[in-house]
């Protein structure tokens, strides 16, 4: 496993749509392992392959309940809505209020190529939606209701 460089806002690869993974092989599994290590090292809760410069439909998420790996994830159901604060490893020092589904169902493939479904509510729904947006070239700031710059908040608190 290896730490990968996380691409930052402005990098063109973050705005491109990731390609379907046709074959799950050792290379794809290595990328998933590297993504998880990179996400944990950066104290993130999710990472999409675009964020490390790879245009493949791969996502890792851990909202505190253990690692979830998704290959070729596809949202098949969205219910309700929630508005909450989000951040992103590719957009450092910025958070924003973003509207997301309250509940989500995602169809994906696991490491073995088996088709699975996962349902998430609240924070997990937010994380899955956020990461799948990355695969479609969409950043959370593109959907923001209100941008919050953490550096500005810290200056205000100090004054």
Helix or strand (DSSP H, E) at 78 = strand 68-79
**Among 131, 153, 157, 159, which one carries the catalytic annotation?**
131
In a 3-state reduction of DSSP, which class is residue 136?
Answer: coil
88 belongs to an annotated ligand binding site: yes
Instruction: Determine the Cα–Cα distance for residues 116 and 107; give it in Å rounded to an integer.
Output: 6
130 is in an annotated binding site: yes
Specify whether 150 is catalytic: no
Cα diameter, the chain? 55
| Pair 104, 125: CB distance under 8 Å | yes
20 is in an annotated binding site: no
Q: Which of 70, 74, 73, 50 is nearest to 60 (CA)?
A: 70
Query: Annotated binding site, which residues?
Result: 88, 130, 134
Would you name the residues annotated as active-site residues?
A: 131
Query: Annotated binding site for Fe cation, which residues?
Result: 88, 130, 134
């Amino acid at each position: 496993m290896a730490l990968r460089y996380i691409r930052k806002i402005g990098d063109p690869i973050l705005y491109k749509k990731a390609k379907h993974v046709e074959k799950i092989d050792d290379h794809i599994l290595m990328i998933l392992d590297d993504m998880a290590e990179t996400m944990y090292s950066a104290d993130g809760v999710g990472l999409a392959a675009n964020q490390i410069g790879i245009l493949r439909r791969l996502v890792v998420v851990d909202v505190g309940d253990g690692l979830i790996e998704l290959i070729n994830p596809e949202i098949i159901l969205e219910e309700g809505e929630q508005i909450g604060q989000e951040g992103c490893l590719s957009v450092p020092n910025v958070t924003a209020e973003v509207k997301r589904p309250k509940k989500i169902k995602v169809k994906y493939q696991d490491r073995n190529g088996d088709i699975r479904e996962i349902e998430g509510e609240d924070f997990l729904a937010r994380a899955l939606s956020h990461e799948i947006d990355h695969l479609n070239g969409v950043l959370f700031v593109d959907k923001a209701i209100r941008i919050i710059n953490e550096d500005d908040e810290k200056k205000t608190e100090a004054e």
